[in-house]
Amino acid sequence: MDSGATVVALEKDRDLLPILSETFSTEIATKKLILIEGDALTFLPQEAIKGNYKLIANIPYYITGAILSRYLSSSHQPSTMVVLVQKEVAERTCARDGKESLLSLSVKVYGDPKLVYRVSKGSFNPIPTVDSGVLQIQNISRKNFKNQYHEDMFFKVIKAGFAHKRKFVISNLKEKIPTTNWLEVFTANSINEKARAEDINLATWLVISLL
């Protein structure tokens, strides 16, 4: 708020709203802070936020995937997201081992993820059972998609490709989307028939989802 930005804060716990309203009464009065009772999983940013915004949050770890998906695919996307997540989730999102996942592709197709730094579980009280990491996703947009159909097909194809991790990806695709000649698609794009879903990069998934 000191930078001149307006902060829109969501608070799901109704009992905390009076306390927060009193604590930040000056910021609320000067419209530096807009306090909304709401759930991040149902909140519609296009109805409350005009123009460019950044999403910064410490979220419950069990809804990490749902939060990332909801805001990255929103009709009013944030330009940047900075969230505290479980360390392993942050590492998997960035595919630090060179192996893609459904999660990493679902994030990378919209923006550039980066594990900013790790946060030891000893930094919290009470101490949790896992370490955390600050995940930053920048340059969020839909620039990788040609249209809404391409976006929808991309997610249909990668979900099919990762349906059975132990199978070759072409087998998964043949099973889940049998109307496409996947052998022809793989040959045309020089994809190894024995490749697994985790071995295929984002650029290739974007090409083969243009069915």
What whole-number distance in Å separates Cα of residue 105 and Cα of residue 197? 11
What whole-number distance in Å separates Cα of residue 118 and Cα of residue 111? 20
Give the CATH number, domain containing residue 77: 3.40.50.150
Same domain as 199, residue 161: yes
Same domain as 53, residue 2: no
Band (pLDDT 50/70/90 cuts) for residue 76 is: very high
Count of structural domains within the chain: 3
Q: Evaluate if pTM is beyond 0.85.
A: yes
Q: Mean pLDDT, to the nearest integer, of 100-119?
A: 97
Q: Give the residue from 98, 120, 138 where a domain finishes.
A: 138
Expressed as residue numbers, the domain containing 71 is: 49-138
Q: Mean pLDDT, to the nearest integer, of 47-71?
A: 92
Q: Give the residue from 116, 138, 160 where a domain finishes.
A: 138
Same domain as 198, residue 124: no
Over residues 132-159, the pLDDT tens digits come to 999 999 999 999 999 999 999 999 999 9
The CA–CA distances, whole Å, from 122 to 87, 90, 153, 165 equal 13, 18, 43, 34
- What was the pLDDT predicted at 211? 77
Band (pLDDT 50/70/90 cuts) for residue 5 is: confident
Is 43 contained in some domain? no
Q: Of 99, 207, 190, whose CA–CA distance to 154 is shortest?
A: 207
Same domain as 167, residue 132: no
Range in 92-96, 146-150, 170-174 the model is least confident about:
92-96
- What was the pLDDT predicted at 2? 59
Band (pLDDT 50/70/90 cuts) for residue 52 is: very high
Is 143 contained in some domain? no
User: Has residue 1 got a pLDDT over 80?
Assistant: no
- What was the pLDDT predicted at 135? 97
Band (pLDDT 50/70/90 cuts) for residue 3 is: low
Is 22 contained in some domain? yes
Is 98 contained in some domain? yes
Same domain as 79, residue 56: yes
Range in 37-41, 47-51, 171-175, 181-185 the model is least confident about:
47-51
Q: Are residues 93 and 65 in contact, defined by beta-carbon separation less than 8 angstroms?
A: no
Is 44 contained in some domain? no
- What was the pLDDT predicted at 34? 93
What whole-number distance in Å separates Cα of residue 115 and Cα of residue 18? 35
Same domain as 162, residue 127: no
User: Has residue 44 got a pLDDT over 90?
Assistant: no
The CA–CA distances, whole Å, from 69 to 8, 55, 195 equal 20, 13, 26
- What was the pLDDT predicted at 199? 95
Q: What percent of the chain has pLDDT over 70?
A: 98
- Cis omega (within 30 of 0) for bond into 128: no
Same domain as 128, residue 153: no
Same domain as 132, residue 79: yes
The CA–CA distances, whole Å, from 189 to 86, 98, 146, 179, 193 equal 36, 21, 19, 18, 11
Q: Of 72, 79, 157, whose CA–CA distance to 107 is shortest?
A: 72
Q: Mean pLDDT, to the nearest integer, of 111-123?
A: 95
Is 126 contained in some domain? yes
Is 127 contained in some domain? yes
Same domain as 77, residue 26: no
Same domain as 152, residue 134: no
Is 63 contained in some domain? yes
Same domain as 189, residue 157: yes
Same domain as 121, residue 94: yes
